């Protein structure tokens, strides 16, 4: 979105020319990459330290090689993940968070900790909902 399209959305850092609620806004794609199942877990896994591809795949339990590769490409394109290929035999590729990636991952981890800490309430709510639907 150019300056002429600015809608004056306040983002906590001042007025932003971006509005994730607009379908044309490029921030929507980045938000999808960050909050999608594999994106959020990948960022969270890389928060502590950089990892090689297979280490990351083991850490993010359940992700396929194809999905992890696609996720890493999207996060790298968005400037959240740095990929470093080392010319060794066999080749070694390391992934780590950029400064922006660390900031985003830190906020995601806060959300993850909140959700994990409140799971007893969530499970109770699910039980009440399911019981009411069955009645």
Q: What is the pLDDT, as a whole number, of residue 91?
A: 84
- Span 36-134 CATH architecture: Orthogonal Bundle (1.10)
Residue 46 has pLDDT above 70, yes or no: yes
Q: What is the pLDDT, as a whole number, of residue 17?
A: 86
Cα angle value 82/93/83 (rounded, 5°): 10
CB 46 within 8 A of CB 40: no
pLDDT tens-place string over residues 103-126: 999 999 999 999 999 999 999 999
Q: Structural domain boundaries of the chain?
A: 1-25, 36-134
Q: Rg (Cα) of the chain, in Å, rounded?
A: 19
Euclidean distance between CA atoms 76 and 33, whole angstroms: 10
Residue 24 has pLDDT above 50, yes or no: yes
Residue 11 has pLDDT above 60, yes or no: no
pTM of the predicted model as reported, rounded to 2 decimal places: 0.81
What is the overall mean pLDDT for the chain?
A: 90
Whose CA is closest to 60, among 39, 77, 85? 39
Mean pLDDT of 58-78: 97
Q: What is the pLDDT, as a whole number, of residue 12?
A: 58
């Amino acid at each position: 979105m150019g300056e002429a399209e600015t809608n004056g959305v306040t983002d906590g850092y001042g007025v932003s020319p971006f509005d994730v609620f607009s379908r044309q806004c490029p921030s929507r794609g980045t938000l999808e990459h960050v909050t999608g199942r594999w994106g959020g877990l990948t960022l969270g896994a890389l928060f502590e330290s950089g990892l090689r591809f297979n280490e990351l795949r083991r850490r993010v339990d359940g992700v396929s090689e194809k999905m992890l590769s696609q996720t890493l490409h999207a996060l790298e394109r968005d400037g959240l993940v740095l990929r470093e290929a080392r010319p060794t035999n066999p080749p070694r590729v390391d992934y780590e968070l950029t400064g922006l990636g660390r900031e985003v991952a830190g906020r995601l981890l806060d959300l993850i900790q909140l959700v994990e800490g409140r799971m007893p309430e969530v499970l109770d709510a699910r039980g009440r909902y399911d019981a009411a639907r069955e009645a």
